[in-house]
Amino acid sequence: MLEMIGQGLGILAVVTGFISYQMKKPAGLLIFQLATALIFSAHYFCIGNALTAAALNFLAAVKCLFFYLRDKRGGKGNIELIVFTVIVIITSILTWEAWYSALIMGGLVVATVSLAMPDTQKTRYCMFVKSPLCLAYNILVGSVGGAVYECTVLVSSIIGIIRNRKKIKD
């Protein structure tokens, strides 16, 4: 029963994640990513064999909240990026399941860097590195929602890039 609830949460996270990559402003993207990360954290906990992903997604929600609040105050800087990257690596090591934990760790390090970017187009381009790593992890741990999500992120990122591309002046 818990497995079914978990897979259902994964599908809900797919919907919020798709919406996030359609946002034009970093604040909107961060809010929807925060919700997506919290839902995925619960999803991975419920499916039971993805504790690294559960912990890293909870951390991802904290990162989104931090970057959202930082950006609202007009703050910028890279020290937070370094700190969160180190925390992702340490959390991955502490919750290590098997070699495939390195996949989710790598993907979420890229996601950390991308969420700190002020340009949502660059964030979308980063998904072409993050999503294949996380997709492989999700397939290996049996996360249907996670696998669908990463495919959706790629499609959504392509749509967002096309919709929000800068017009080239003739």
Give pLDDT tens digits for 32-74.
989 999 999 999 999 988 899 999 999 989 988 988 888 788 7
In a domain, residue 170? The reply is no
Number of domains present in the structure of the chain? 1
In a domain, residue 25? The reply is yes
How far is it, in rounded angstroms, from Cα 5 to Cα 100? 24
pLDDT of residue 151: 93
Neighbours of 50 (CB within 10 A): 28
Give pLDDT tens digits for 156-165.
888 888 888 7
8 A C-beta contact, residue 126 and residue 114 = yes
pLDDT of residue 169: 44
Full domain range(s) for residue 54: 2-163
Q: Tell if the pTM clears 0.75, that is, is over it.
A: yes
In a domain, residue 16? The reply is yes
Kindly tell me if the per-residue pLDDT of 121 is higher than 70.
Answer: yes
Alpha-helical runs (H) found in 21-143:
26-47, 51-72, 79-94, 101-115, 120-141
Q: What length is written for the chain?
A: 170
In a domain, residue 76? The reply is yes
